[in-house]
């Protein structure tokens, strides 16, 4: 029969080792990897019977890995069990919605693994129990159905058989041989009563004088008690070994940098002697786990606070952009009013969101409408379109691309000051739709369209002074206002 195989995906070495030891006791061959990317690469050459997937890992997390595995027809049928500290009905629903069959907690017990393997039809047949004993015990008498009253054994012939004094031994010689030969008949005559005498001699003086059990029932009861004793010992030893292995693995990983040299392992002399040591190790492990839990809770609270602060800064930035655009419109209207209101506006400025093409998206629609209106009015002259990049405070992202940092990040920790479009064409990054629209206008209109790229130094709003208290959010709000497209048109004389 082919051995069943399991794949454990977890970035924690202790968690991988602990789950591997438990699965191997259920006759499973276990392979382990550290990341979801390694698991997907593993599945290109092997097909395990089950995958135990952690959730929080560097790079691709557990949910993303489940989606990738289920999206591949070659691996979609492999059952996946989430192996994580996440819990709750909501998380279980999310895991099942993505294709996982359940959640196995990190605080695992052998019973949890047994239930999970039973759900996956991977648990091997258990050891034989009392139901697997022969129906009649030792002598083949039947135990099925109802109990049958066995006949009482006949009473012993003698109530108190006298003890035969042993014959004196002689060190050597013919006299010793004759003394031993004389003692043998007396011992042979009492051979039939020896079991009864031994049975009564094993009773305690305080034990009530109960009737002797039938031999068949006594054999069955002794077999049951021996079986239960073996099962109890096996259960206690397995649990002690499981807890000891887990505590030892965690303590070695936590203390391997603090201890200069590994302490020699003390050979085990039995489960009874290891109990005090295991109790002390359990207390230390509980204290360490409590500290780790407290640190994880503090980190989660800090991340939640940072997220709320970032969302507030984003809302403030959007409001600042809207106010800036409104002020630009008012300034243009004021200039037109000062000129007497006779001439239409000759310029237009539009801001470009971070990472978008300046001459694409919403700017494409605005430029197209402006050029169509000038063409309908019979405009003759030059239309200049300039894209001016803003200088952003950027940091690297896991994908290798530049991204905006949190607004509370100090300006001094910015990894790059510039624009993600700095490496574009000097004439200004254009979309295909924009290029086609300009070609059509140039062919039909009676005015010239000039496209150019401005310098980052051509700022609409000055950047703030660089100080120790300057944050990335304050700098990027100004950069968003300077990241713009300017349109100017002038009629020919």
Q: Which domains does the chain have, with CATH numbers?
A: 4-119 (3.40.50.2300), 346-491 (3.30.1330)
Which residues lie below 8 Å from residue 336, measured CB to CB, with a gap of 6+?
343, 344, 345
C-alpha to C-alpha distance for 477 and 460, rounded to whole angstroms:
12
51 vs 234, higher pLDDT: 51
Confidence of residue 344 (pLDDT cuts 50, 70, 90): low
Model confidence pLDDT, tens digit, residues 294-340: 888 888 888 888 888 878 888 787 777 777 777 776 676 666 556 54
The pLDDT of 70-98, averaged and rounded, is 90
C-alpha to C-alpha distance for 321 and 333, rounded to whole angstroms:
18
194 vs 46, higher pLDDT: 46
Region of 145 (left: φ > 0; alpha: ψ -120 to 50; beta: rest) is left
pLDDT at 136 over 50: no
For residue 80, the model assigns a pLDDT of: 94
Phi, psi values for residue 402, rounded to 5°: -75, 140
For residue 332, the model assigns a pLDDT of: 62
Classify 484 as helix, strand or coil: strand
Strand-pair partners of 418: 392
Helices of type H across 78-172? 89-98, 110-119
- The CA-atom distances, in angstroms, between 322 and each of 297, 370, 481 are 38, 21, 10
pLDDT at 83 over 50: yes
Model confidence pLDDT, tens digit, residues 376-427: 888 888 998 988 998 999 988 777 778 888 889 999 889 889 888 776 554 4
- Of 217, 218, 214, 219, nearest to 151 by C-alpha is 214
For residue 264, the model assigns a pLDDT of: 54
Rounded (10°) angle between helices 89-98 and 62-71: 30
153 vs 26, higher pLDDT: 26
C-alpha to C-alpha distance for 390 and 428, rounded to whole angstroms:
13
Model confidence pLDDT, tens digit, residues 220-255: 887 788 777 777 877 776 667 766 777 777 777 777
The pLDDT of 136-157, averaged and rounded, is 38
Please count the residues of the chain. Answer: 493
For residue 7, the model assigns a pLDDT of: 95
Average pLDDT along the chain: 75
pLDDT at 30 over 60: yes
- Of 33, 30, 42, 43, nearest to 13 by C-alpha is 33
469 vs 211, higher pLDDT: 469
For residue 205, the model assigns a pLDDT of: 57
Model confidence pLDDT, tens digit, residues 424-461: 554 455 678 888 888 888 888 888 888 988 888 888 89
Continuous segment of H or E residues that includes residue 30:
strand 28-33
Percent of the chain with pLDDT over 90: 22
The pLDDT of 49-53, averaged and rounded, is 93
For residue 210, the model assigns a pLDDT of: 62
pLDDT at 35 over 90: yes
Strand-pair partners of 383: 449, 489
Name the pTM for this structure.
0.33
pLDDT at 137 over 60: no
Model confidence pLDDT, tens digit, residues 3-27: 789 999 999 998 999 999 989 988 8
pLDDT at 84 over 90: no
pLDDT at 129 over 70: no
């Amino acid at each position: 029969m082919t051995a069943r195989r399991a794949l454990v995906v977890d970035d924690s070495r202790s968690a991988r080792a602990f789950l591997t030891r438990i699965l191997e006791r259920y006759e499973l061959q276990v392979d382990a990897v550290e990341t979801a990317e390694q698991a997907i690469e593993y599945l290109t050459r092997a097909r395990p019977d089950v995958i135990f997937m952690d959730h929080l890992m560097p790079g691709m997390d557990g949910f993303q890995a489940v989606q990738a595995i289920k999206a591949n027809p070659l691996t979609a049928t492999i059952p996946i069990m989430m192996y994580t500290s996440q819990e709750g009905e909501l998380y279980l629903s999310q895991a099942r919605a993505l294709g996982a069959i359940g959640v196995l907690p990190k605080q695992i017990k052998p019973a949890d693994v047994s239930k999970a393997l039973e759900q996956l039809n991977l648990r091997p047949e258990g050891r034989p129990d009392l139901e697997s004993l022969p129906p009649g015990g030792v002598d083949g008498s039947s135990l099925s159905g109802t109990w049958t009253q066995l006949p009482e054994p006949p009473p012993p012939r003698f109530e108190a058989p006298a003890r035969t004094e042993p014959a004196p031994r002689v060190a050597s010689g013919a006299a010793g041989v004759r003394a031993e030969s004389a003692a043998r008949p007396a011992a042979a005559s009492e051979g039939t009563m020896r079991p009864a005498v031994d049975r009564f001699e094993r009773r305690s003086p305080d034990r009530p004088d109960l009737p002797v059990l039938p031999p068949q029932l006594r054999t069955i009861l002794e077999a049951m008690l021996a079986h239960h004793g073996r099962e109890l010992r096996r259960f206690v030893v397995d649990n002690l070994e499981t807890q000891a292995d887990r505590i030892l693995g965690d303590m070695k990983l936590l203390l391997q940098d603090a201890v200069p040299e590994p302490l020699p392992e003390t050979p085990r002399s039995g489960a009874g002697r290891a109990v005090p040591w295991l109790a002390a190790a359990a207390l230390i492990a509980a204290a360490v786990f409590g500290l780790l839990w407290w640190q994880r809770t503090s980190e989660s609270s800090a991340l939640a606070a940072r997220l709320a602060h970032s969302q507030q800064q984003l809302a403030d930035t959007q409001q600042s952009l809207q106010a800036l655009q409104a002020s630009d419109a008012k300034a243009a209207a004021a200039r037109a009013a000062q000129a007497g209101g006779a001439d239409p506006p000759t310029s237009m400025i539009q801001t470009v969101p971070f990472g978008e093409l300046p001459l694409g998206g919403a700017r494409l629609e605005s430029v197209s409408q402006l050029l169509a209106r000038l063409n309908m009015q019979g405009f003759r002259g030059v239309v200049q379109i300039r894209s001016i990049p803003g200088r952003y405070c950027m940091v690297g992202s896991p994908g290798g691309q530049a991204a905006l940092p949190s607004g509370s990040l100090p300006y001094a920790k910015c990894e790059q000051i510039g624009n993600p479009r700095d490496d574009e064409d000097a004439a200004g990054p254009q979309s295909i739709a924009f290029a086609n629209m300009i070609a059509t206008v140039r062919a039909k209109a009676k005015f010239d369209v000039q496209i150019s790229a401005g310098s980052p130094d051509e700022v609409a709003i000055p950047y703030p002074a660089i100080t120790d208290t300057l944050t990335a959010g304050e700098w990027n709000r100004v950069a968003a206002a300077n990241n713009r497209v300017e349109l100017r048109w002038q009629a020919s004389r």
